[in-house]
Amino acid sequence: MDEPIKLQLYFNENTEWENQKFFFRYTWKKHLVELKKAIIYTILFLILGFVPLKAIDLGPVSIIFKYGSFLFIGYIFLLIYQYFNAKVKTFNLTEELIENLRREDEVSFITLYQNSISIKNPFTTINCVWSKTSYKIIDHYLILSMLNNKINFVFTKPEFKENDFTILLDFLQRHSKKEN
């Protein structure tokens, strides 16, 4: 039976901030596509509802477009509000996490088993089987998703000593699935 491999993570405040900022931008990139669609639909509905087009006589249907444009404007404001609200909450939670990690003397570890992975920090320990684990590499960031993308961790090479990052990446390639 193979022995588990234990990888030590080094806490660096700047690296943690960069990882959290990256992950926030990464997750909200999907929502920005939806915001762009809402803006396009709003412009289209405003044109069809308020601009008199002689080539297209919509008659009373233009009222539907007028009210629809106001709904889309409201939806745009809702998306913008959610973005800024989530940004403030995320950065406050990140600041709290970093402050807590600074006070703790314990070290974080990733333990690799043949059938599972375990991530332990001073506050929690999360274990997950490989079938529920996936990973993605974007730029120089490694996003490790556990429990079918319910829990995510962001790692960079400087957080690990020597070749531990390569060991983790090799294990992920062999035992988990890579997302595109």
pLDDT tens track for 20-52: 999 999 999 988 899 999 999 999 988 888 777
d(CA 97, CA 159): 16
- Domain span including residue 89: 13-103
Q: Of 114, 143, 105, 113, nearest to 25 (Cα)?
A: 143
Predicted pLDDT at 57? 66
Same domain, 137 and 160: yes
Predicted pLDDT at 1? 47
pLDDT tens track for 104-115: 767 889 999 999
Residue 39 phi, psi (nearest 5): -65, -40
Give the residue from 103, 137, 156 where a domain finishes. Answer: 103
Percentage of the chain modeled with pLDDT above 70: 96
Percentage of the chain modeled with pLDDT above 90: 60
Same domain, 115 and 159: yes
Predicted pLDDT at 171? 92
d(CA 141, CA 23): 9
What integer is the mean pLDDT of 54-67?
A: 75
Tokens of 163: 């070749």
Tokens of 148: 């079918």
Same domain, 95 and 122: no
Assess whether pLDDT exceeds 90 at residue 61. no
Give the residue from 103, 122, 140 where a domain finishes. Answer: 103
